[in-house]
Every structure is written in C-alpha cells, then in structure tokens.
Amino acid sequence: MTQRLLPISIFAALMAVIPLIPGMPPFWIVLLNNIGLAALVAMGLVLLTGVGGLTSFGQAAFCGFGAYTTAVLSTAYGVSPWLTLPLSLLVSGGAAVFLGLVTVRLSGHYLPLGTIAWGIGLFYLFSKLEFLGRNDGITGIPPLSIGTLKMLDAGTIYYAIWIAVLVCALLSMNLLDSRTGRAIRALRRGHIAAEAFGVQTPRAKLLVFIYAAVLAGLSGWLYAHFQRAANPTPFGAHAGIEYLFIAVVGGAGYVWGAVLGAGIVVILKEVLQSYLPLLFRGEGQLETIVFGIMLVLLLQLAPTGVWPWLMGRLPFKPARKRPDTSLTLPARERPAAASGALLKIDNARKQFGGVIAVNNVSFDVQAREIVALIGPNGAGKSTTFNLITGVLTATGGTISMQGRNIDNAPPQEVVKLGIARTFQHVKLVPDMSVLENVAIGAHLRGHSGAISSMLRLDRADEAKLLAEAARQIERVGLTDQIDQPAGSLSLGQQRIVEIARALCVDPTLLLLDEPAAGLRHMEKQRLAALLRTLRDGGMSVLLVEHDMGFVMDLADRIVVLDFGTKIAEGTPDAIKTNPDVIKAYLGAVA
C-alpha cells in the first residue's frame, strides 16, 4: 500500500463500519448521507474555485440537472436508475459546456455574477416547467437497486453515496497531481505565464467547469434516489451559496477540505436549526443569520479554511518522492552554428493609443549567440519581448523564427517553435512547489489528458516530465529548494526558478527579462556561466538587463533601445563608446 492510499483506506474502512455500529441512530446516517452529497458538489467547487480561481454560485443548478434527468426518465419512462446515471452526468456536463462557453471566458468578477444570474434563472425554470412538476416537483422516484437489494433506507444508499465520494476524491486528487492538474492550478495566477508554456487556458477553464458540473450532477442523481423525490428548492440560489460556503470553510484549495467542510456545515446547520429557535423564540431561518455572519468572520480571520490549519498541526510531514532523473524526454534538434538568423525582427511596431512603445525596431538573433537588449526604463524592451512571444499583437512589421512568420501568433504557438521566456515580474504559482512550477515548462512535452490522469494511466509520461524538471532545477543549482513552495524563495531565486521553467521547454531561443535583478554578485557570476554553457550547447539567448557589468561581460552583441527606437547595435566595446548610447543614459555627452 503506497503512502498516498493509506490514509484514504483507513478513512474508507472507518466510514464502512459506521452504519454497522449497533444502536447508531438512523438520523445520524441521514446526516452523513447529506454530508456526502454536499461534499461531492463542494469537491467540484474546490477544483473550480479554490484551485482554478473560477468562483461559481450556480453549482446547485447542476445538481438540479442531474436530479431532474433521472427523476423524469425513471418515473415517466420507467428507465432503470443505473441507465439514467450516465444520462444525468451527460445532461449536467452538457449544460456546463453551454454555460461554460458563455461564461468561463469572462474575467474576474463577471464570472461569479454570471453564475448567480443563470443559477436563479434555472431555478425559476425548474419551478415553472410542466414536465418537471413545477413547484411540487416529481415524486415516486424508484430506489437504486442491485439485484434484489433495493436501497430503500438511508443505511444502504449510504454506501452508494460514500463510495461515490471516495472515488471522486481519488479521481480529483489524481487529476490535480498531473500535467493537466498543473495547468489548472496555474490558472488562478493569471493566464499569461501558463499560456507562454503552451497551456490552452480557455480549454483548461472549461475542463474544470465541466468536471465540477459533472460532480454536482452525480450528487443530484444520488439525491433524487435517496429522497425518492425532486423539487426546485434544493437547487436554488441559496443552495449554490451554501456549497461555496462549504468549500471556503473546509479550505477551498483542498479536496479533503470539501469533505471536512461539508461535515462541519451540515452538522452545524442541523444544530443551529434545532437549538436557535429555542434561544431566540423567533421564526425560522435564524441559522442563515449565523451562517452569513460566520462566512464573513471566516474570510476575515481564517481565509484558507479548516483543512490546511489541521494539516499544519500534524506531528509528521508526508515525505515527497524525488523524481528519477534517469528518465529523459526527446530533445529538440539544435541549429548548427552560423546557420543564419534564428530570430528576425523586421520593423516591429507597437502603439498603445497615441504612445508608440516600439517604433519600427529591427534586429536579429543568430544561432548560438547571446544578444542583450538594453535601454533606459520605458525604452520598450519588455514590450518587444511581449511582441515576440505573442502576448501583445504588433501594430506593424514582421517577426520570424527560423524563417517562419510568427507575428500575431498566440503564445501557445510561439513556444512550440522553441522560444521560451521569463518575466520581468515573476509569474510563478506561489503555493506550488518549485518542482511543480518548473514542470509547467515541460507542458508541451507531455501528452496525457485529463481522463488518463484521473485514472493514473499517465504515470510514465508524468515521471519523464518531473525528471526533466528536476534536471533543470539541478542545472540552475536549486536542488535544495526543489520541494519548497515557490513563494517562499527569495526574489532572486524565484527568477532562477523561472529560468529553469523556461529551460524545460528545451528551447532554441531563451528570452530572459532582467534575469540578474535581485541576485548577489556570486549568483550573477554563476548565472553568466550557465548562460555561456547553454550557448555553447547550441541555444541562443536574448536578454533584457540593467546591470551593465553583467551585460558587457556576457553578451556577444548588444541592441540599444531608447523611447521605442533602436539607437545603436554592436559589440559591447562598440556600445560602450557610442555617443548616442551615452547620451541616452546620461542625458548629455559625458
């Protein structure tokens, strides 16, 4: 039994025994069933909101799709509940595809607002449609049955619910711990860095959205056969809010946080509903007041939730396995020296309204060459980088890589040609380990999709990716920090992590945006030595840097920009004495 599966097995065994305990009140089993049903929905929200950064208040509506699909088919058409399961999942997944295509592309707060709106719209639709029984819903749904065993009471369907919870938890954890999972986890920190390494961010967003909806649909299907009835109330806006509450309470970034959060909230709700009226002699809904206040307090005092707090209290830390660095990925073919221009920029131009950030700049980078792009602040250096890598679309001019035109190609296409980059403002995922961050760089060199990751069929592929990442980390000298969260490193080290991530692309051209900023003298020397080795190995480097000592020592050729225009180009010695360059930096001939 691996270390990963041991705690889950213990938990599963524990849950299996609970209904068998003599004298166990049936009401407790019902409560546990409700916890399991809520946990399934919250688990989807963990991936969607906590991990992917897409907040949805509308998950309850997907439960409704699952529940009503099986309710209609099994009552009106007498279809067996087991046959309606795939259909329930399909309907909720299909609804997610439609709503997702409309909403997930929205940035920031438009997405949650959109989910509130369609959540309420669907609730009213459920409660008005004739064939869904309007406000009364549908009753007389047949129970689940295996052979002659009919799951009529709470104690038997309990097993169906909790098996679903455990299987889904396992699948979710497998998904997160994979190539696709890293792409999803990178979404929360913005799309630019992920896209620079080939992640199709809209597709990754849609994927988690559908996954979360399918989990909610499964919960709805189980709910319908547990209650043997379906009506609109549990699929309304307030239920959607409650699911989000559960995820936040448990710890929105953690799969088991969903189960823990569901336990806490469902039990708390039960306690509040039975005792609050005694205390305050009021009419119902007092628990929503307490819930609302608690949600606000939780965000103010413990925004990460209960699960990470519990884990931090464990006396032992789960050890991480080091990747086997003997595995290798196929390497890219290197261009021979003196094979002509690798990157060619011809009259590139970028205007932001009236500001000309890059004004008809032309230069090239040869194979096996280190070129430095220098210039005062605001000269257009980073904008030039963004034009090359497809983050910005050029207003004019052409950019080509090895003879292939890449102007206005999306970042995901540019990286496929072997152009990898780092960012002036570090763009790592702070709560992911250094290894996982670097492995994002190898995204395009792996092939496993979401389904094979969930089923753990991706292990061979995954091991190679992690081996490559570990090798690049070793190359840049950060092996000691490999398991630390990237956010805990110093800024200089984080820049080095970005370089390792870029190296995972196996690039022919490496674009470095101020790689030496924040490094100490010794670290700068080591970086310079590394870049020389890379050049000698067949890589070209284009770097933006302000440290003149570092640049003059390292670069084969220097291009100088000022106010978006190229003012000089040449060897370091020529640039040092160029009067235009001196004027740009010092204001007058010094």
Partner 1 sequence: MNTTIMLFLVQDGITNGAIYALLGLALVLVFAVTRVILIPQGEFVTFGALTYATLSAGNMPGTARLAVAMGVVALGLDLYAGRRALHWRLVARAIAINILLPVAIYALTFWFAGKNTPIAVNIALSLLIVAAIGLSLYRLVFQPLAHTSVLVLLIASVGAHLALQGLGLVFFGAEGLRGPSISDAAFMIGPLRFTGQSIAVYAITIAFIVGLWLFFGFTLYGKALRATAVNRLGARLVGIRTTLSGQIAFLLASVIGALSGILIVPITTLYYDTGFLIGLKGFIAAIIGGLVSYPLTAVAALVVGTVEAFSSFYASNFKEVIVFTLILPVLVLRSLAAPEVEEEKD
Separation in Å, CA 478 to CA 161, 438, 550: 45, 11, 21
Question: Which residues, at least 6 apart from 45, have a Cβ–Cβ distance to it below 8 Å?
Answer: 56, 59, 212, 243, 244, 246, 247, 252, 258
Least Cβ distance, residue 254 to partner 1 (angstroms):
16
Residues 349/395, Cβ–Cβ less than 8 Å:
yes
Least Cβ distance, residue 461 to partner 1 (angstroms):
30
Least Cβ distance, residue 132 to partner 1 (angstroms):
12
Measured from the CB atom, the residue of 104 and 559 that comes closer to partner 1 is 104
SS3 state at 140: coil
Distance separating alpha carbons of residues 334 and 160, to the nearest angstrom: 56
Question: Cα angle vertex 166, ends 213, 49, to 5°?
Answer: 35
Measured from the CB atom, the residue of 236 and 418 that comes closer to partner 1 is 236
Burial of 397 (0-12, 13-18, 19+ CB in 10 A): middle
Residues 254/304, Cβ–Cβ less than 8 Å:
no
Measured from the CB atom, the residue of 247 and 371 that comes closer to partner 1 is 247
Binding site for partner 1 (CB under 8 A): 53, 55, 57, 102-103, 105-110, 112-114, 116-118, 120-121, 124-125, 128, 188-190, 192, 237-238, 241, 244-245, 248, 280, 282-296, 299-300, 303, 386, 391-392
Q: What token pair was written down for 13?
A: 């065994």
Measured from the CB atom, the residue of 170 and 237 that comes closer to partner 1 is 237
Distance separating alpha carbons of residues 392 and 408, to the nearest angstrom: 8
Measured from the CB atom, the residue of 126 and 162 that comes closer to partner 1 is 126
Residues 60/214, Cβ–Cβ less than 8 Å:
no
Least Cβ distance, residue 303 to partner 1 (angstroms):
7
DSSP 429-451: -TTSBHHHHHHHTTGGG----HH
Least Cβ distance, residue 570 to partner 1 (angstroms):
32
Measured from the CB atom, the residue of 110 and 159 that comes closer to partner 1 is 110
Measured from the CB atom, the residue of 131 and 316 that comes closer to partner 1 is 131
Distance separating alpha carbons of residues 588 and 585, to the nearest angstrom: 8
Least Cβ distance, residue 151 to partner 1 (angstroms):
34
Distance separating alpha carbons of residues 188 and 49, to the nearest angstrom: 9
Least Cβ distance, residue 108 to partner 1 (angstroms):
6
| Closest residue by Cα to residue 305 from 344, 248, 347, 266 | 248
Measured from the CB atom, the residue of 428 and 469 that comes closer to partner 1 is 428
Distance separating alpha carbons of residues 248 and 4, to the nearest angstrom: 24
Question: Cα angle vertex 72, ends 70, 75, to 5°?
Answer: 95
Q: Is 168 left (phi over 0), alpha (psi -120 to 50) or beta?
A: alpha
Distance separating alpha carbons of residues 393 and 373, to the nearest angstrom: 20
Least Cβ distance, residue 120 to partner 1 (angstroms):
5
Measured from the CB atom, the residue of 299 and 455 that comes closer to partner 1 is 299
Least Cβ distance, residue 282 to partner 1 (angstroms):
5
Measured from the CB atom, the residue of 284 and 318 that comes closer to partner 1 is 284
Least Cβ distance, residue 357 to partner 1 (angstroms):
12
Measured from the CB atom, the residue of 288 and 578 that comes closer to partner 1 is 288
Distance separating alpha carbons of residues 323 and 327, to the nearest angstrom: 9
Least Cβ distance, residue 101 to partner 1 (angstroms):
9
The DSSP call for residue 567 is E
